[in-house]
Amino acid sequence: MPDNAPSLPARFMRLAESDRPTITLRIDGHSATALAGDTLLVALLLNGRRVRDSEFGDGPRAGFCMMGACQDCWVWTPAGARLRACSTPAEAGMEVLTRPPAHHWPATPDLQESLARHAQGAAA
Provide the pLDDT for residue 35.
95
Percentage helix, strand, coil for the chain under 3-state DSSP, each rounded to 5: 20, 20, 55
pLDDT at 90: 96
**How high is the pLDDT of residue 107?**
60
Q: What is the pLDDT of residue 46?
A: 87
Q: Given the DSSP bridges, would you call strands 30-35 and 22-27 parallel, antiparallel or unpaired?
A: antiparallel
Q: What is the pLDDT along the chain (124 residues), one digit of tens a residue?
A: 344 555 556 776 777 777 899 999 999 999 999 999 999 999 988 887 677 766 677 776 666 666 767 777 888 899 888 899 999 999 999 999 988 887 655 566 776 777 778 777 766 5
Q: How far apart, in whole angstroms, are the C-alpha atoms of residue 62 and residue 41?
A: 8
* Predicted local distance difference test score (pLDDT) of residue 15: 73
Domains of the chain: 22-123 (3.10.20.440)
Quote the pLDDT of residue 72: 76
The string over 45-56, giving b where at least 16 C-beta atoms fall within 10 Å of a residue's C-beta and e elsewhere, is bbbbbbbbbeee
Helix (H) or strand (E) holding 42: helix 40-47
